[in-house]
Amino acid sequence: MNALYPQLILDALAQVRYPGNGKSLVENNMIEDDIRIDGRKVSFSIIFEKENDPFIRSVVKAAEAAILTFAAPDIEIQGNISVKYRVAARPTRENPLPGVKNIIAVSSGKGGVGKSTVASNLAVALAMSGYKVGLLDADIFGPSAPKMFDIEDEKVYAEERNGHSYIIPIEKYGVKILSIGFFVNKEDAVLWRGGMASNALKQLITDAAWDELDFFVLDLPPGTSDIHLTLVQTLGITGAIVVTTPQEVALADARKGISMFMGDKVNVPILGLVENMSWFTPAELPNNRYYIFGREGGKRLAEEMGVKLLGQIPLVQSICDGGDAGHPVALDDTASGVAFRLLASEVIDAVAQRNANQPATQKVELNH
């Protein structure tokens, strides 16, 4: 049994390359001077530039493998590597929604990948799990929540509270819902400049009676726009979910969406990727899968970008029918309903993990 000492650990870590620049962890000064050896147990910290570095998970796994390969195979290392950051998290700003614990942005690089379907069914599935949930249809130019929840004809009203008038969200299936679709003619296109859209969105956030929520789901417009910046500047977003299909053209746009959230201007952690329309299953052949948009493209992209694959949602007729009829499929005990409830479970775990990695002063509660 070889004796363990810090230099042996450093020599092993010198074999691990950081994918961002090809240099070793030692060359990049990413190993903090805190290597601790207790018998055969070894622990230390790896320092990354910022908390949304896409290579965190892959680098930690590579470091564990290098220790076992180049130092000694019997070292206790798994789970003993801490992650730290050189760049501090965004400074906290005044919170316009003090009663909201976790804010989840659901985004997509392009339209037509089922982002709003995922956002709506995720909100319903979270509510079915017993959480207090709100859904803001922030897709100003293509609001779909009123249709998906069959509340297009509902009238939104305001209520006076402490000398201030607050918009009261519509509640259905346990989800509090607001959308610009409640305030415009559903037959008309919304022809607003970016500033008008951003101001309308701010009003739906800050002038609404969201009250206490465990999860506030934001259905963002597709692509990248100033609306995304408005939300980041207005709210402290817990994390983002990017929706894609397995198609290469969708994956290319999803890659841009992930990069937008990880960039310095936005700097929002990615909770994970959702691959929608992963395969087609006809109702009469429930055990058959037809990969009409390609196979596991979302899974490959998640591995490439170093983010978690939160779920794969099949393409079935019931999802389309449920959306058109205002009955989210997450309510049903079908393959699609189960898939969305599993997605909700993965999101809950991802949020809990993200909060656990925050400094104590920045952690967001997730008690249930």
Ordered by start, the domain boundaries in the chain are 6-85, 100-362
CA distances from 20 to 17, 23, 28, 46, 169 (A): 9, 8, 10, 15, 44
Nearest to 81 by CA among 58, 64, 56: 64
How far is 135 from 51, CA to CA, in rounded Å? 26
Do residues 67 and 21 make contact, with C-beta atoms less than 8 angstroms apart? no
> CB–CB of 266/260 below 8 Å?
yes
What's the pLDDT at 188?
62
pLDDT at residue 361 in the model: 34
Nearest to 218 by CA among 136, 115, 277: 136
Which 8-state DSSP code applies to residue 39?
A: T
Read off the tokens for 183: 């305030």
In angstroms, rounded to a whole number, what is the distance separating the alpha carbons of residues 226 and 16? Answer: 39
- How much is the pLDDT for 319? 64
pLDDT score, position 360? 38
Per-residue pLDDT of the chain (368 residues; tens, 9 = 90+): 678 888 999 999 999 999 878 899 999 999 988 899 988 999 999 998 877 777 888 899 999 999 999 999 999 998 889 988 876 555 445 568 889 999 999 988 777 888 999 999 999 999 999 999 999 998 877 788 999 999 988 888 888 888 888 999 999 999 999 998 887 766 665 555 556 767 778 888 888 999 999 999 999 888 766 677 777 767 888 999 999 888 888 888 888 888 888 776 677 888 999 999 988 877 777 778 888 888 888 888 888 888 889 999 888 766 666 656 678 889 988 888 889 999 999 999 999 888 776 543 333 445 44
Rounded to the nearest 10 degrees, what angle do helices 56-66 and 6-13 cross at? 130
The reply to whether CATH 3.30.1360.120 applies to domain 100-362 is no
Instruction: Give alpha helix (H) positions in the chain.
Output: 6-13, 56-66, 115-128, 145-148, 194-206, 226-234, 248-262, 297-305, 317-325, 335-356
Backbone torsion region of residue 217, taken as left when φ is above 0, otherwise alpha when ψ lies between -120 and 50, otherwise beta: beta
**CA 297 distance to own-chain centroid:** 18
pLDDT value of residue 185: 67
Instruction: Please name the residues in contact with 141: beta carbons below 8 A apart, sequence gap of 6 or more.
Output: 189, 190, 192, 197, 221
pLDDT recorded at residue 318: 60
* Eight-class DSSP state of 329: G
Residues belonging to the chain:
368
Q: How far apart (Å, rounded) are the C-alpha atoms in residues 89 and 353?
A: 16
pLDDT of residue 33: 84
- What are phi and psi for residue 127, nearest 5 degrees? -65, -40
Query: Which pair of tokens denotes residue 11?
Result: 């020599």
In 10 A of CB 355, how many CB atoms?
Answer: 17
Q: How far apart are CA 365 and CA 367, in angstroms?
A: 6
| 0.85 exceeded by pTM | no
Q: Please enumerate in sequence order all residues whose Cβ is within 8 A of that of 14, keeping only pairs 6 or more positions apart, or say none.
A: 24, 25, 26, 27
CATH number of the structural domain 6-85: 3.30.300.130
**Three-state SS annotation for 125-191:** HHHHCCCCEEEEECCCCCCCHHHHCCCCCCCCCEEEECCEEEECCEEECCEEEEEHHHCCCCCCCCC
pLDDT attached to residue 176: 96
Closest CA to 120 of 151, 97, 161: 151
Q: Which amino acid is at 361?
A: T
- Residue 115: closest CA among 30, 224, 242: 242
Taking the C-alpha atoms of residue 117 and residue 328, their distance in angstroms, rounded to an integer, is 8
